[in-house]
């Protein structure tokens, strides 16, 4: 199925593909994968190379274009772009509390979701490539964050069908376990806290006041979720994006109102917190997050709520201990914890499913190290200095391990630089590919 739409500056075509749930059993159950083709207006019939955009996540759908803006504007100068809704997201067959309930009990749901990692996403993309470009067609990739992880898997599974690959904030540690990822992450998050409090010193007291209130009286969010002190700390996820520190500051500014019984957290604050904390729109981000690091050759055991376990090694993130002293309460970063499946209504029905995935062992490897060492596909990667989401040292280690990789290290942008920089980040990578820088 395909349908065409015209938006100022662009022409889009919808594509829906049937793909096997399990690519190892192609005659078994199938699901749908949706992709949106985008081309500059007036160039619909031009012979243009294809660029596939792999979104961050896991569990993130591709962006919805409003026209020629941001990185897409730069991409459309040279490419026909395919925006892929990775399996389980967007207009692909959805996977959430509503649809997963149809599959049976938690064990059946977990078995289903075990097919939603990067290896399956890449095999979906390969099937799409063959249907759009033919058996021998080649295309380019742009992988943002988790999309970069998928790019490394693509280079491991089917590099012969890639012309080039661009990666932004997504060079995963090839041989790094979940525990290693989080041990490297918590110190980076602490640095981002320090940067935020240096920028907005008044927020030290503001965060302490809210945290102290929530220790005594957890708040109810508009969707029925619970804002505990640990959920409040999870707002620190914002500190890794370009504008997140400012958004957080302005949210804290409106935290309090005078109610009939004295000061209370405002509806404005609670609604704002919910918009950043709820997983209603991307539940797979929470359910599958730690599984993206599972590889039997690295760690044959379970991920077992790695972030929750590793957090205990960093007592500076204990809010109640901080409140007992006079230091700042530290906010947390890109970490998923079992308590989230209690406080978030969108995740509560998936609590047992998430537990089974956390207990799952012997995850198949996602990266072929010998093949990556012999890689012949040009790779151009933006690595953000002190990226809060992906460890810079791990990224540079991976760049050294993947032949043909050129890296641009910059501290001008945060993890979402490809989005917030307009054309700049992608333009730099394309010019690297063209030999202009």
- Within 10 Å of residue 202's Cβ, how many Cβ atoms? 11
Return the SS3 of 20: strand
CA angle 364, 366, 371 (to 5 degrees): 120
Which is catalytic among the residues 92, 120, 140, 145? 145
Q: Provide, for the chain, the percentages of residues in helix, strand and coil under a 3-state DSSP scheme, each rounded to the nearest 5.
A: 45, 15, 40
Beta bridge partners of 162: 139
pTM metric for this prediction:
0.96
The residues, ordered by sequence, that sit 6+ positions from 42 with a Cβ below 8 Å of its Cβ are none
What's the rounded Cα separation, in Å, for the pair 221 and 395? 37
Residue 91 is classified by DSSP as: T
Element (H, E) at 142: strand 139-144
What does the block give as tokens for 157?
């599974």
CA dist 331 → 37, 200, 402, 431 (Å)? 39, 14, 34, 38
CA dist 108 → 11, 101, 111 (Å)? 40, 10, 5
- Is 140 catalytic? The answer is no
Nearest alpha-carbon partner for 57 in 16, 118, 112? 118
- What's the pLDDT at 52? 98
What's the rounded Cα separation, in Å, for the pair 66 and 6? 10
Which is catalytic among the residues 245, 415, 421, 427? 415
What does the block give as tokens for 27?
């005659």
Which is catalytic among the residues 77, 105, 362, 400? 362
What's the rounded Cα separation, in Å, for the pair 330 and 240? 14
pLDDT in tens, the chain (437 residues): 468 999 999 999 999 999 999 999 999 999 999 999 999 999 999 999 999 999 999 999 999 999 999 999 999 999 999 999 999 999 999 999 999 999 999 999 999 999 999 999 999 999 999 999 999 999 999 999 999 999 999 999 999 999 999 999 999 999 999 999 999 999 999 999 999 999 999 999 999 999 999 999 999 999 999 999 999 999 999 999 999 999 999 999 999 999 999 999 999 999 999 999 999 999 999 999 999 999 999 999 999 999 999 999 999 999 999 999 999 999 999 999 999 999 999 999 999 999 999 999 989 999 999 999 999 999 999 999 999 999 999 999 999 999 999 999 999 999 999 999 999 999 999 999 999 99
Domains by residue range for the chain, with CATH: 4-174+367-433 (3.40.50.1820), 178-359 (no CATH)
* Burial tier of 316 (Cβ tally within 10 Å: 0-12, 13-18, 19+): middle
Long-range Cβ contact pairs of 61-66 (< 8 A, separation 24 or more):
61/85, 61/86, 61/89, 61/90, 61/91, 61/92, 61/282, 62/35, 62/36, 62/86, 62/90, 63/419, 65/7, 65/10, 65/12, 65/36, 65/38, 66/7
Q: Which residues of 256-294 are buried (b: 16+ CB within 10 A; e: fewer)?
A: beeeeeeebbeeebbebbbeebbbeebbbbbbbbbbbbb
- Is 326 catalytic? The answer is no
- What's the pLDDT at 2? 63
3-state secondary structure 263-310: EEECHHHHHHHHHHHCCCCCHHHHHCHHHHHCCCCCCCCCCCCHHHHH
Nearest alpha-carbon partner for 399 in 207, 101, 169? 169
- Is 415 catalytic? The answer is yes
The residues, ordered by sequence, that sit 6+ positions from 208 with a Cβ below 8 Å of its Cβ are 322, 323, 328, 329
What's the rounded Cα separation, in Å, for the pair 186 and 184? 6
What's the rounded Cα separation, in Å, for the pair 176 and 71? 30
What does the block give as tokens for 209?
């006041």
């Amino acid at each position: 199925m395909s349908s065409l739409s015209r938006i100022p500056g662009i022409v889009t075509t919808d594509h829906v593909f049937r793909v096997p749930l399990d690519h190892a059993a192609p005659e078994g159950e199938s699901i749908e994968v949706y992709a949106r083709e985008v081309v500059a207006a007036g160039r619909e019939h031009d012979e243009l190379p294809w660029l596939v955009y792999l979104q961050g996540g896991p569990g993130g759908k591709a962006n919805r274009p409003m026209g020629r803006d941001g990185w897409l504007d730069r991409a459309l100068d040279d490419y026909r772009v395919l925006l892929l809704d990775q399996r389980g997201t967007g207009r692909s067959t959805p996977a959430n509390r509503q649809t997963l309930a149809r599959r049976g009990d938690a064990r059946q749901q977990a078995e289903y979701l075990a097919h939603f990692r990067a290896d399956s996403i890449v095999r979906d993309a390969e099937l799409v490539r063959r249907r759009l470009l033919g058996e021998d067609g080649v295309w380019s990739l742009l992988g943002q964050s988790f999309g970069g992880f998928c790019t490394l898997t693509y280079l491991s599974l089917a590099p012969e069908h890639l012309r080039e690959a661009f990666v932004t904030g997504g060079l995963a540690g090839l041989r790094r376990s979940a525990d290693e990822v989080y041990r490297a992450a918590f110190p980076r998050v602490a640095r981002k806290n320090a940067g935020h409090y240096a920028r907005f010193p008044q927020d030290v007291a503001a965060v302490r006041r809210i945290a102290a209130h929530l220790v005594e009286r957890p708040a109810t969010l508009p969707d029925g979720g619970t804002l505990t002190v640990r959920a409040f700390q999870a707002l620190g996820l914002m500190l890794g994006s370009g504008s997140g520190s400012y958004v957080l500051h302005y949210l804290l500014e409106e935290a309090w109102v005078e109610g009939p019984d004295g000061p209370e957290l405002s509806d404005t604050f609670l609604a704002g917190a919910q918009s950043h904390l709820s997983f209603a729109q991307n539940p797979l981000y929470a359910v599958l997050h730690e599984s993206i690091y599972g590889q039997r050759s690295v760690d044959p055991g379970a991920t077992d709520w790695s972030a929750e376990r590793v957090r205990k090694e960093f007592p500076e993130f204990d809010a109640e201990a901080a409140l007992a002293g006079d230091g700042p309460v530290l906010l947390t970063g890109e970490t998923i914890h079992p308590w989230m499946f209690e406080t978030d209504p969108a995740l509560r029905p998936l609590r047992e499913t998430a537990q089974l995935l956390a207990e799952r062992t012997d995850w198949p490897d996602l990266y072929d190290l010998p093949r990556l060492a012999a890689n012949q596909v040009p790779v151009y990667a933006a690595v953000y200095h002190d990226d809060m989401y992906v460890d810079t040292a791990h990224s540079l280690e991976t760049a050294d391990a993947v032949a043909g990789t050129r890296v641009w290290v910059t501290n001008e942008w945060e993890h979402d630089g490809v989005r917030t920089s307009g054309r700049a980040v992608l333009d730099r990578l394309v010019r690297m590919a063209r030999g202009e820088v």
